[in-house]
């Protein structure tokens, strides 16, 4: 004879039949909470190169930024705006040193720079070269020196070219701040 069972009766039947194997499955709801990460406040940001209108072949020197206590590395993002009928080639120069005024500035060796494409044989500075409007390029710096600076060396400039750079730094251990 075939009986019609309600779901709760069926679960009770299975629980009695299989004991502890089935019981935990329906008695406890498993709730998994995804970890949340905040990248907005975990990165320190500074202007590495003030937004400038470059109209001649020149070296545009950026701001000095602190790299001390940022063992997680430093990333510099370069951006170009709309060229006002301009164009040109804009090479990146990355310097570092231990003096806060960078009187001891020296070019950062390629071994301490990270390009956009880590497996490319092209030098990191060449990968960061800006040659078109509305471009975003980046370069990473992993240096034991305390201070850094980026500059843009422009050539074949025609017209007006808006360029700037931002440095993002993430410390290995975030220092506590008093509000």
Q: What is the mean pLDDT of the chain?
A: 78
The whole-number average pLDDT for the span 93-100 is: 93
Note the pLDDT of residue 178: 43
* Residue 5 lies inside a defined structural domain of this protein: no
Higher pLDDT, 170 or 39: 170
First to last CA, the chain: 75
The beta-carbon contacts of 81-85 under 8 Å, at least 24 apart in sequence, are: 81/51, 81/133, 81/134, 81/161, 81/162, 81/163, 81/164, 82/133, 82/134, 82/162, 83/133, 83/159, 83/160, 83/161, 83/162, 84/159, 84/160, 84/161, 84/162, 85/158, 85/159, 85/160
Task: Report if residue 64 sits inside a domain.
Answer: yes
**pLDDT tens track for 49-90:** 999 888 899 999 999 998 887 765 788 888 887 666 678 888
Does some domain include residue 82? yes
Answer whether residue 30 is part of any domain: no
| CATH code for the domain in which residue 107 is found | 2.60.120
Give the pLDDT score at 84.
Answer: 64
Pairing of strands 44-54, 106-107: unpaired
Q: Does some domain include residue 34? A: no
**What is residue 13's DSSP assignment?**
H
Number of domains in the chain: 1
Residue 115 lies in a domain: yes
Task: Choose between 116 and 5: higher pLDDT.
Answer: 116
Tell me the residue range of the domain where 98 lies: 42-169
Domain membership of residue 2 (yes or no) is no
pLDDT at 22 over 60: no
**Does some domain include residue 16?**
no
**Nearest alpha carbon to residue 96 among 117, 111, 77:** 111
């Amino acid at each position: 004879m075939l009986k019609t069972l309600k779901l709760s009766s069926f679960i009770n039947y299975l629980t009695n039949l299989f004991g502890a194997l089935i019981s935990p499955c329906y008695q406890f709801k498993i709730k998994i909470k995804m970890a949340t990460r905040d990248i907005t406040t975990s990165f320190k940001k500074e202007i590495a190169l003030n937004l400038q209108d470059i109209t001649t072949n020149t070296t545009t020197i950026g701001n000095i930024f602190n790299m001390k206590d940022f063992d997680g590395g430093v990333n510099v993002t370069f951006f170009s705006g709309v060229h006002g009928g301009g164009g040109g080639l804009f090479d990146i120069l990355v310097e570092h040193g231990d003096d806060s005024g960078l009187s001891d500035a020296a070019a950062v060796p390629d071994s301490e720079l990270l390009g956009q494409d880590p497996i490319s044989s092209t030098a990191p500075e060449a990968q960061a070269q800006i040659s078109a409007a509305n471009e975003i390029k980046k370069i990473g710096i992993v240096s034991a020196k305390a201070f850094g600076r980026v500059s843009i060396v422009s050539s074949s400039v025609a017209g007006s070219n808006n360029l700037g750079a931002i440095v993002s730094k993430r410390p290995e251990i975030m220092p506590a701040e008093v509000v």
